[in-house]
Amino acid sequence: MHAETKAYNAAQAPGDRKICDLLAKEIDRALPEAENKVWHAHPVWFLGGNPVVGYSKLKDCVRLLFWSGQSFDEERLQKEGKFQAAEARYIAVAEVDTKDLARWLAKACDIQWDYKNLVKRKGRLERLK
């Protein structure tokens, strides 16, 4: 886990810290080749410079976001925003189903939309894989 991600997690309230630590551990395990950094103030993992998964502390929960998650065909992931992102929200570490998470992370490797070049393409997404 990147030092900035550790610092982000450490700054959370104890219950939220447990969620963040578990998510980071599971993401690192599933995506060992991914680059992890704090991007736009939240921990994000990148494959080939493309953001694939990250999490952030919201007012009442921790949100796990998959940039290409709408293409995963997973009912527990909810649509987020106007592009292809989908999310899961947690208020307790016991809510994190690590089997679901592992499946979603595997799909994050296989199913990607090209967010890295979104600005260059003037807001048009293209599927990478």
pLDDT at 125: 58
pLDDT at 81: 86
pLDDT at 113: 61
58 within a domain of the structure (yes/no): yes
Residues 8 and 36: beta-carbon distance below 8 Å: no
Contact partners, residue 29, CB within 8 Å, separation at least 6: none
What is the tally of structural domains in the chain? Answer: 1
118 within a domain of the structure (yes/no): no
Residues 78 and 90: beta-carbon distance below 8 Å: no
pLDDT tens over the chain, length 129 residues? 899 999 999 999 999 999 999 999 999 999 999 999 999 999 999 998 999 999 999 999 999 999 999 999 999 999 998 888 999 999 999 999 999 999 999 999 998 766 666 556 566 656 675
pLDDT at 122: 62
124 within a domain of the structure (yes/no): no
125 within a domain of the structure (yes/no): no
Residues 2 and 37: beta-carbon distance below 8 Å: yes
127 within a domain of the structure (yes/no): no
pTM of this prediction exceeds 0.85: yes
CATH number for position 97: 3.90.1150.200
17 within a domain of the structure (yes/no): yes
pLDDT at 117: 64
Domain assignment of residue 13, given as a range: 3-110
116 within a domain of the structure (yes/no): no
